Homo-oligomer: A and B are copies of this chain.
């Protein structure tokens, strides 16, 4: 295996030497062409992904749109060009000592390895956000197909191969490994020419890749979007005023796509009250009304069953649904369990993710207990606050705590549904990722694959377009500490 990977990475390096010199405008055309080719294969992609993942056809069709939308978003970003953070300080020969001319911009880091997710066979897999952002940045990409949808991945790669040919890119700009073995993953992460890793999946998977990376002589970043229980705080006035709506919204969010979203609200926290009892009854009822689909694959169904059982079998946890009937393992009934804040805070097993249609309601005696429960948690992708304006005014410390906890803080909406936009953060402190400074969704995801370089004393003709006096790309730059898109 390591011989194959060695060849693959040599090829990736060779392609990188070419691809990093392709202009932003031409890389943009390449990304748009990939999007076109994906659209050309849309029906086949949806059909094969439906077979491999059990995901419903409309959802898969929507995900194709998200995937091509992401590619086009990055195409716009790099065609415009300001994302490179060009920064120029011009010379001042009269200063003592003379001030040199220094100019900085972001450049691609080197070949990267991408590991796709099982729960988004298009948008977070082969040609998904990691690949799109990496290609936008100007790095060559080696994709390891997810073993749960190998045919989908191969077909998606064929779309990218067509785009490579049409745009006359180096043939190894994107490579695809359809090999389910852990050895392939290990060899990819450990190869000296690999400069970064992108991964979306389980905590166990992410930790394994990180452990390989930690064995390297030369450290590299591993961007792993792993696990999150996405705590939702339900504030008193909000429970009083929007009780039924709230229960319906959360039932939908907990069970959406059979709960197989990294932003699924897996934890609800509220202060005990009659309104909370009404709410939880309604929520439990709503969860039983959900139309069931099979989960992505047997492995995920078993893992969910086990994780949910671990939670519901802990001391102090009450759950009607989970153990009541022998249910279809592949189509588990969405369910809710309840626990006191005291029991929750003391038991770290209750802070773990159960990836599927399940949530744990933590009942707190007062706001202090709620605050302690939040403090007991690790880093999260999201946290939500269901609150009236009066609630927010009454409990400012809770919102502040939530801002410490997660990459995204949501007011009065379900955390599922991650907007693909410049202002999105899909990331957070460990264990949701290894590095809270990055996002894997939105235009800033490109920042994972670049490094800054400073060019000092260069003649104008030697400089890349982004840094020339004439600003031929008309991008926004910081020139002598002032933002401008003018020439110098």
A residues at B contact (CB < 8 Å): 76, 82, 87-89, 97, 99-100, 102-104, 107, 109, 210, 214, 218-219, 221, 378-379, 389, 392, 399, 403, 406-413, 417, 419, 421-425, 427, 429-431, 434-437, 439, 444, 450-459, 461-462, 476, 478, 481, 483, 485
Contact = CB atoms under 8 A, between A and B. Distances in A.
Contacts of A389: 459, 461
A421 B89 contact: yes
A88 to B, nearest CB: 6
Given A87-B423, A109-B436, A483-B483, 4 more contacts: A82-B483, A102-B421, A102-B423, A411-B459
Contact of A450 (B107, B427, B437, B462): B437
Contacts of A424: 102, 104, 454
A50 B272 CA distance: 65
B219 A456 contact: no
Residue among A389, A421, A452, A483 with most chain B CB within 10 A: A452
Contacts of A423: 87-89, 102-104, 454, 478
Contacts of A89: 419, 421-423
17 contacts: A87-B422, A89-B423, A102-B419, A102-B421, A102-B424, A214-B214, A218-B431, A389-B459, A403-B453, A407-B451, A407-B453, A409-B454, A410-B457, A411-B457, A411-B458, A423-B478, A436-B451
Contacts of A403: 107, 453, 455
How many copies the complex holds: the figure is: 2
B100 A419 contact: yes
Given A425-B454, A436-B451, A411 B462 contact: yes
A431 to B, nearest CB: 8
Given A421-B102, A422-B481, A425-B104, A454 B411 contact: no
A403 to B, nearest CB: 6
Nearest to A389: B459
A90 B410 CA distance: 14
Contacts of A399: 462
A409 B219 contact: no
Given A214-B214, A424-B102, A455 B409 contact: yes
Contacts of A210: 219
A463 to B, nearest CB: 10
Contacts of A378: 218
Contacts of A422: 87, 89, 104, 478, 481
A423 B444 CA distance: 20
Contact of A434 (B219, B409, B421, B454): B219
Nearest to A462: B392
A265 to B, nearest CB: 14
Given A411-B457, A419-B100, A435 B483 contact: no
Contacts of A88: 423
Nearest to A211: B214
Contacts of A453: 403, 406-409, 425
Residue among A392, A417, A436 with most chain B CB within 10 A: A436
A446 to B, nearest CB: 12
A377 to B, nearest CB: 12
